[in-house]
Amino acid sequence: MGRARRIGLALLGPALALVVALVISGLVIAAIGENPFAALEVITNLGDTPAAQVQSIVVILNRAVPLFLAGLAVSVAFRMGLFNIGVEGQYRLATILSAAVGAAVNLPAPVHVLFIIVVAMLVGAFWAGIVAVLKVTRGVSEVISSIMLNFVALGLAGYLLTGPLKGSPEGAGIVTTAEIPESGRFPDLTGVLTGLGLEEPRSELFGFLVVAVVVGIAISVLLSRTRFGFDLRATGLSPSAATASGVDTRRMVITTMLISGAVAGLIGLPDLLGSDYEYGTEFTAGLGFLGIAVALLGRNSPIGIALAALLFGVLDRAAPLLQFEDIPASVVTIIQGTIVLAVVVGNEIARRLARRSAERAGAAATGAPPDAGDGGGGGGPDLPGGPDGGQRTYTGVPGQPEGVRP
């Protein structure tokens, strides 16, 4: 099977899903008596003036950066079959602690920023590590424990914010941590934009974009080019085969969750170091959950996640503007929801097409029908392939051969 054909099939799923989602959303808009094409126009029109267009792009990118990191954090775990729902709690806890620590120390600029980043990653990794340890030692499903730890993290963050880490004056409407000094803030990229001859936007482009790109490349190389990445993916595809091949699944669970948590720790930093400089009750919430949707949409590949994050950014930017066209902003949420739903379905269809095409190629080469699986039902529905687009998500307890006889 040609590489081009395979890539084509890989893109087919999300593209199909996007179209289906747009059609469904269009129908929804039409059903409430508004013009779907007007909505499309609002979503795609970045602005009438160059300044407005640049501003729109900045807004989109600023939204996409944390979403990308969130999707990446989820996908790392996903690739080995772990469902890290705890990204939300991991990033919130990481953000408040790194914000407080960052405000408390005084270091020269680059070291200060680096210090905050390291603290955030360590906190995120630690919080995710609890999930991993529970799973490995006690067999607790990571789905359950990470959801529970989200509640604990939110509660803990609330306590810390109103208690020991409170930096805002008494009686202020919004409780925040102390502000991070100038040296701990991440320089923005507005200079790059104006350097490219673009208009200066109203908002600043997060400098953290650079970090996100670096992390994306690093994760990509780690997963597809290294031995560790191979072990990780093999565990995701078939834990039993990975164990038999010598992968220590317990260690793998812990390492993977630590990496996932470390990346999750970064999610809040674009906002923290780029515009807020403090963590407060109004700090952007929900990125961890959106990350799951972004990872699904991006089929767990870093490039796909980047595109998915951008798409969500585009849609989110349009939310206020849609309201001005009398289209409720929730249309955006509906579109995002239907896209994810359609992607799940679309991926499954594309996966079957890809498999059928592979089987046909195999059969053509050998003349023998493929050995699809034990039951061997048509199309082999018992084979791996899930919402994550062909990556098997398996949540068994590792360290013990899977499916052993009692």
Partner 1 sequence: MRGARIRKAGVRATALVLAGGLALAGCASDDDGGDGGSSGGSGGGGGGGDELKIGLAYDTGGRGDRSFNDSAYAGVQAAIDEHGGEVQEFSPNDGGSDRVEGLATLAEQGYNPVIAVGFAYGDSIGEVAEDFPDTTFAIIDSEVTELGIDNLTGIVFAEEQGSFLAGVAAALKSETQSIGFVGGVESPLIQKFQAGFEAGARAVNPDIAINSQYISPAGDFSGFNDPARGQILAQGMYDGGADIVYHAAGGSGTGVFQAAVAAGQLAIGVDSDQYETVDDPAQKAVIMTSMLKRVDNGVKAFLDDFVAGDIEGGTDVRYDLESEGVGLSESGGQIDDVLTQIGEYRDRIISGEITVPTTP
Partner 2 sequence: MATAGGPSDRPLQGGADGDGGHPGSELAVELRGITKRFPGVVANRDIELSVRRGEVHAIVGENGAGKSTLMKTLYGMHRPDEGTIVVDGRETVFRSPADAIAAGIGMVHQHFMLADNFTVLENIVLGSEPTRGGRLDMVEARRRINGISARYSLGLEPDALVEELGVGDRQRVEIAKVLYRGARTLILDEPTAVLVPQEVDELFRNLAELKREGLTVIFISHKLDEVRRVADSITVIRRGTTVGTADPKTTTVKQLAELMVGTQLPTPATRESTVRSTVVLRMEGATVRNADGRALVDDVHLTVREGEVVGIAGVEGNGQAELVDAIMGLRPLSSGTLTLGDDDISAWSTRARREAGIGLIPEDRHRQGMLLEAPLWENRILGHQTRPPAVKGPFIDRRGARADTQRIMSEYDVRAPGPDTLAVALSGGNQQKLIVGREMSASPRLLLAAHPTRGVDVGAQAVIWELLKDARAEGLGIVLVSADLDELIGLSDTLHVMLRGRLVATVDPGAVTPEELGGYMTGARTAAGAA
Among 139, 382, 400, 401, binds partner 1 (CB under 8 A): 382
Of the candidates 92, 112, 250, 355, which one interacts with partner 1 according to CB under 8 A? 92
- CA 327 vs. chain centroid, Å, equals 28
Question: CA–CA separation, 344 vs 242, rounded Å?
Answer: 26
- Our finding on whether 405 is near partner 2 (CB under 8 A) is yes
Assess 138 for contact with partner 2 (CB under 8 A): no
Q: Can you tell me which of 12, 143, 144, 178 binds partner 1, judged by CB under 8 A? A: 143
Subset of residues 21 to 80 that bind partner 1, contact rule: CB under 8 A: 32, 59, 63
Q: Which does residue 326 touch among partner 2, partner 1, none (CB within 5 to 8 A, set by kind)? A: partner 1
363 lies in the binding site for partner 2 (CB under 8 A): yes
Nearer to partner 1 by C-beta: 32 or 217?
Answer: 32
Spatial separation of the C-alpha atoms in residues 149 and 143, rounded to whole Å: 10
Residue 175 CA from chain centroid, whole number: 28
Quick one: DSSP state of residue 399? Answer: T
Query: How far is the C-alpha of 36 from the C-alpha of 235, rounded, in Å?
Result: 44
Q: Is residue 333 a contact residue for partner 1 (CB under 8 A)?
A: yes
- Closer residue to partner 2 (CB): 44 or 366: 366
Stretch in the footprint of partner 1 (CB under 8 A) among 186-194, 253-261, 302-310, 381-389: 381-389
Whether residue 282 contacts residue 271, with contact meaning beta carbons closer than 8 Å, is answered with: no
226 binds partner 2 (CB under 8 A): yes
Q: Which is nearer to partner 1, 186 or 394 (CB)?
A: 394
For residue 140, the minimal CB distance to partner 2 (Å) is 16
- List, as one string, the DSSP characters of 119-178: HHHHHHHHHHHHHHHIIIII---HHHHHHHHHHHHHHHHHHHHHTTT--SPTT-SS-BPP
Tell me: does residue 392 bind partner 1 (CB under 8 A): yes
The option from partner 2, partner 1, none interacting with 341 (CB < 5 to 8 A, set by class) reads partner 1
Which of 211, 276, 355, 387 is in the footprint of partner 2 by CB under 8 A? 355
> How far apart are CB 359 and partner 2 at their closest, in Å?
5
Q: Are 395 and 77 in contact (CB under 8 A)?
A: no
Classify residue 12 as exposed, middle or buried by CB count within 10 Å of its CB (0-12, 13-18, 19+): middle
Torsional class of 47: left (φ above 0), alpha (ψ -120 to 50), beta (otherwise): left
Among 45, 245, 330, 333, binds partner 2 (CB under 8 A): 245
What single-letter amino acid sits at 319? A
